[in-house]
């Protein structure tokens, strides 16, 4: 049997699908609940993001995985092995801190070799492994430099090379882009993903930056006040948020409060005090007539036009109050008679052209039957 086939045969897909299991994990500080009875299953090789605002408990959960905090209750399993009673240094886990924590007096290669030496690896093997890690992170040419002779992005790659050197089963990243400026961040996000994917390590990262989570993660857990509100792929969370919180946390959204007027198997209509016309949603929801709901529609799904659209539903008339220019697109803010302010994105496909629409113009906003989501929580 070929090596690859053997590897495949030895692989247990069931084991891979729940490689990291967080079971009913709770962390209290005195009487304050920082992480509330949390359950998560993470697949082997995933880059999984814990995303949420300040104080939602994401770092505490990450620290529980690393062994830097002890859960008040619940269990953590990695590759079938319980982690709870293992101290951080005995866990097959490595954490890359936001500050990188590089040794300033050591060269790049000495930094990367440090953990391997501590672990008692033979000298020749250390040299091979360090060379492999430097090649993976494209640092070979910088091996003799010290951290202060490196750019922020290069320092981050050293920290990553060092974290991966021992071949951990799980890599933890705490706000990995926290120390970098915006432009470098965007570039490093993709570089980091490439390196992590090439290494094959399973990764859990913490971030408060939704764009970062969307760019880097295979799946995201959105957290609020110690609880997970939604788990999904970036597009699932963006396109199908299950709550007002999720819809508003990720991206911009026009959120209209209202109630279900007609509830049919394949569509619902919603009336909202913000709109003269009803909202028509082309799929059934598990609701009932009279139920209070919200309807969320993303600005890029809202069309702005001077002429009234032919459709019966899903349109409103208003006045352009603001135009925010973002280079690639502009966001039009349209004030309706009800006072509601609609956002509509307009792709700037040509220079200086917004179809002649400007401040103060009377326009229509409209959207398709499947452009938005109905939210019941």
| Binding residues vs ligand ATP (CB under 6 A) | 29, 32, 34, 52, 54-60, 208
Closest approach of Cβ 71 to ligand ATP, in Å?
13
Nearer to ligand ATP, 38 or 254 (CB): 38
Closest approach of Cβ 101 to ligand ATP, in Å?
17
Task: Please answer whether residues 254 and 342 qualify as being in contact, where contact means their C-beta atoms are separated by less than 8 angstroms.
Answer: yes
Closest approach of Cβ 53 to ligand ATP, in Å?
7
Task: Please answer whether residues 148 and 127 qualify as being in contact, where contact means their C-beta atoms are separated by less than 8 angstroms.
Answer: no
Cβ partners under 8 Å of residue 82, min gap 6: 75, 76
313: phi then psi, degrees, rounded to nearest 5: -110, -175
Nearer to ligand ATP, 29 or 288 (CB): 29
Nearer to ligand ATP, 45 or 178 (CB): 178
Closest approach of Cβ 65 to ligand ATP, in Å?
12
Closest approach of Cβ 174 to ligand ATP, in Å?
8
Closest approach of Cβ 249 to ligand ATP, in Å?
13
Nearer to ligand ATP, 60 or 242 (CB): 60
Nearer to ligand ATP, 206 or 334 (CB): 206
Closest approach of Cβ 179 to ligand ATP, in Å?
14
State the residue number with the nearest CB to ligand ATP: 59
Nearer to ligand ATP, 52 or 168 (CB): 52
Nearer to ligand ATP, 20 or 51 (CB): 51
Q: What is the 3-state secondary structure (H, E, C) of the chain?
A: CCHHHHHHHHCCHHHHHCCEEEEEEEEEECCEEEEEEEEEEECCCCEEEEEECCCCCHHHHHHHHHCCCCCCEEEEEECCEECCCCCHHHCCEEEECCCCCCCCCCCHHHHHHHHHHHCCCCHHHHHHHHHHHHHHCCCHHHCCCCHHHCCHHHHHHHHHHHHHHCCCCEEEEECCCCCCCHHHHHHHHHHHHHHHHHHCCEEEEEECCHHHHHHHCCEEEEEECCEEEEEECHHHHHHCCCCHHHHHHCCCCEEEEEEEEEECCCCEEEECCCCCCCEEECCCCCCCCCCEEEEEECHHHCEEECCCCCCCCCEEEEEEEEEEECCCEEEEEEEECCCCEEEEEEECCCCCCCCCCCCCCEEEEECCCCCEEEECC
Closest approach of Cβ 33 to ligand ATP, in Å?
9
- Chain-centroid distance of CA 164 in Å reads 22
CA distance 56 to 62: 12
Nearer to ligand ATP, 177 or 363 (CB): 177
Closest approach of Cβ 289 to ligand ATP, in Å?
39
Nearer to ligand ATP, 56 or 180 (CB): 56
């Amino acid at each position: 049997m070929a090596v690859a086939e053997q590897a495949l045969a030895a692989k247990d897909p069931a084991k891979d699908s729940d490689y990291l299991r967080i079971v009913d994990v709770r962390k209290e500080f005195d009487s304050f609940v920082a992480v509330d009875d949390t359950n998560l299953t993470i697949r082997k090789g995933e880059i999984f993001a814990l995303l949420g605002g300040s104080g939602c408990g994401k770092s505490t959960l990450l620290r529980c995985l690393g062994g830097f905090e002890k859960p008040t209750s619940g269990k953590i399993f990695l590759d079938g092995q319980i982690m709870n009673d293992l101290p951080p240094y005995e866990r097959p886990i490595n954490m890359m801190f936001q500050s990188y924590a590089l040794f300033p007096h050591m060269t790049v290669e000495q930094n990367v070799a440090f953990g391997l030496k501590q672990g008692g690896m033979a000298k020749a093997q250390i040299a091979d492994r360090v060379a492999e890690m430097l090649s993976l992170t494209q640092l070979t040419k910088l091996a003799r430099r010290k951290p202060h002779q490196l750019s922020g992005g290069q320092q981050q790659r050293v920290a990553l090379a060092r974290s991966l050197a021992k071949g951990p089963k799980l890599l933890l990243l705490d706000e990995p882009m926290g120390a970098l400026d915006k432009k470098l961040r965007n570039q490093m996000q993709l570089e980091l993903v490439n390196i992590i994917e090439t290494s094959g390590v399973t990764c859990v990262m913490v971030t408060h930056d939704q764009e970062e989570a969307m760019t880097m993660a295979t799946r995201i857990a959105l957290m609020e006040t110690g609880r997970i509100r939604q788990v999904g792929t970036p597009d699932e969370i963006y396109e199908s948020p299950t709550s007002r919180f999720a819809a508003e946390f990720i991206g911009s959204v026009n959120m209209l409060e209202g109630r279900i007027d007609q509830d049919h198997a394949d569509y619902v209509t919603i009336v909202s005090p913000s709109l003269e016309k009803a909202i028509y949603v082309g799929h059934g929801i598990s609701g009932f007539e009279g139920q209070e709901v919200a309807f969320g529609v993303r600005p890029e799904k809202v069309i702005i036009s001077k002429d009234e659209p032919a459709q019966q539903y899903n349109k409103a008339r208003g006045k352009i109050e603001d135009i925010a220019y973002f280079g690639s697109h502009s966001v039009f803010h349209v004030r309706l008679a009800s006072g509601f302010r609609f956002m509509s994105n307009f792709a700037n496909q040509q220079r200086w052209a917004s179809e002649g629409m400007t401040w103060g113009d009377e326009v229509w906003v409209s959207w398709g039957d499947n452009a938005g989501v109905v939210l019941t929580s």
